[in-house]
Structure 1
């Protein structure tokens, strides 16, 4: 997969950041009253914007007092601590906590989604997809899980399934960040160019556009022979992300089509210096 800004929601996922990873913290249920419990609940729930170590400490205190908590509350504490570990980049510990949360409450959807985000961050996309599958099976209206699974499909070049998941995510939660851009990119690759253009324009109109949006629309213009418009969009993408290999390569192709051999060769060389396989990617996208 080319090194391009996330098409959709995870990255900010899983920027993703899992933010991205699109891990949604939940509020821990308050157990039997004890002097320290309210404070630990506040920390574990993330309501105070406390440092991650403090959030982890609050959740750990609740987990250590497991005998005083309901099973549901304990599952939430594990899920929330997993979110904090993921935010620190400690995805293995995060996954362990999400696993424990699921063991305690197999019908709790958030740890399935959050586990998928953690696997996504580890670049284990098949495991991520499987986790999102489970979240969606439990809750067929889980728009964020559809959006996250679409991102995982993009990473494995499964654009058809990605587009289908973006359809579902947009139907359920059309205001989630990155959805219109993600579907634009998927449709552009698949050749549904007019529909893709409408999605990219929607992203731009909503104010959620980023370098990937201009990069996606640049590909549409490149495929439809609108080389000047393609150069404009690729240049806009590069002003946001100067190292975006796909935008450099696409702009180079558009310049060559306009007869600018020096400019085109320069962009293509710069793109290959960032990602040597970028030409193979564009061949897969249907552009030589």
Structure 2
């Protein structure tokens, strides 16, 4: 759990106390007891106690919002409901809720981060980066926001900016393998192959089943001319996840380069069956 998640956990606890105090100052009676129970149940659902369906969290948060009695509680509920809408893929409604959360509590970094991810999912690069910029400005230790911003920069081929954000994430949480794995990929792309190898090795020390780190290390091996090592890493990645089109494609290139046209053709076919436009991803790193 990173520091922003710990802060969120404390916030949820305070929200629970607030609602409990809110309902306990009412007259006693069977109907009032039922009302208190319903509010506390809604609070638990809004906080994500039941992850079986986003609709359950949406309903819980809506009940808290409809109380209309405290802006702090409503701000958290709007953020949580926006997160649930995002899980459904309804990014427009998610952004509306994140906007409302920010309006009620503009000092909370979390809805800025969440809104940035929602904008990114919609294809909005500038708005996504602006939201994430604000998130890390408000909370400079927000590891997840740095990782999200790095991913967006990476997607739009702003590799120097992505590397800086991965640097920040690694400084904040050096035990988080996705930071090392992400920076490995960026370094492969920009040609810092030995440094990339070191990053991927670190990621795999932290999480040996990180298929992405294996893919990126395989690509570094390939670009360094270490074809057997590349094939080994791609093969291991495919054992972990047989649906990795990039691993099939990269292994195909390595096999072709070794003169194994039969094996290369089989892997190339598998890659394109999984992802027809897989060649476009390798074009980003100068390989086709």
Shorter-chain TM range is 0.7 to 0.9
For 1:232, the equivalent position in structure 2 comes to: 232
User: Residues of 2 paired with 1:64 and 1:99: CA distance?
Assistant: 17
| 1:102-117 equivalent positions in 2, closer than 5 A | 102-117=102-117
Q: Residue 33 of structure 1 aligns with which residue?
A: 23
Paired residues, what number? 263
Decide whether aligned partners of structure 1 residues 48 and 251 sit closer, same or farther in structure 2, where only a CA change above 3 A counts.
Answer: closer
Call closer, same or farther: CA 1:277–1:85 in 2, change over 3 Å. Answer: closer
In structure 2, the CA distance between the partners of 1:37 and 1:269, relative to structure 1 (3 Å rule), is: closer
What is the CA RMSD across the aligned residues, in angstroms?
Answer: 2.3
**TM-score (ref. length: structure 2):** 0.82
Cα pair distance change 1:231/1:46, threshold 3 Å: same
Distance 1:61 1:276, change over 3 A: closer
In structure 2, relative to structure 1, the CA distance for the partners of 1:125 and 1:210 (3 Å cut) is farther
Which residue number in structure 2 is paired with residue 44 of structure 1? 46
Query: Aligned in 2, Cα 1:98/1:280: closer, same or farther, shift over 3 Å?
Result: closer
Matches for 1:62-101 after TM superposition, within 5 Å: 62-66=64-68, 68-69=69-70, 71-101=71-101
- Post-superposition Cα deviations, 1:22-70, rounded to whole Å, max 9, x if no partner, equal xx7852722422524333322222246575333222211121111x21x
Higher helix share: 2
Q: How does 1:57-206 map to 2 (within 5 A)?
A: 57-66=59-68, 68-69=69-70, 71-176=71-176, 178-206=178-206
Give CA-to-partner distance per residue, 1:210-247, whole Å, 9 cap, x none. Answer: 32111101100001111000011111222233342322
| Contact 2:251/2:267, CA 8 A, preserved across alignment | yes
**Aligned partners of 1:178 and 1:208 also within 8 Å:** no
Q: Which moved more, 1:95-104 or 1:251-260?
A: 251-260
Using the TM superposition, give the Cα deviation of residue 275 of structure 1 relative to its aligned residue in structure 2, in angstroms.
Answer: 4.2
**Take 1:275 and 1:52, find their aligned partners in 2: how far apart are those partners?**
29
Name the SS for the 1:112 alignment partner: helix
Contact 2:215/2:234, CA 8 A, preserved across alignment: yes
C-alpha contact (below 8 Å) 1:116/1:127 kept by paired residues: yes
Matches within 5 A, 1:237-252: 237-252=237-252
Q: Quick check: 2:91–2:121 contact (8 Å CA) kept in 1?
A: yes
Give the Cα–Cα distance (whole angstroms) in 2 for the partners of residues 38 and 273 of structure 1. Answer: 49
* Greater C-alpha Rg: 2
Structure 1 length-normalised TM:
0.82
Q: Name structure 1 gaps, 5 residues minimum.
A: 1-23
Decide whether aligned partners of structure 1 residues 64 and 221 sit closer, same or farther in structure 2, where only a CA change above 3 A counts: same
How far is 1:101 from its partner?
0.4
Equivalence for 2:213: 213
Partner Cα distance (1:244, 1:44) in 2: 35
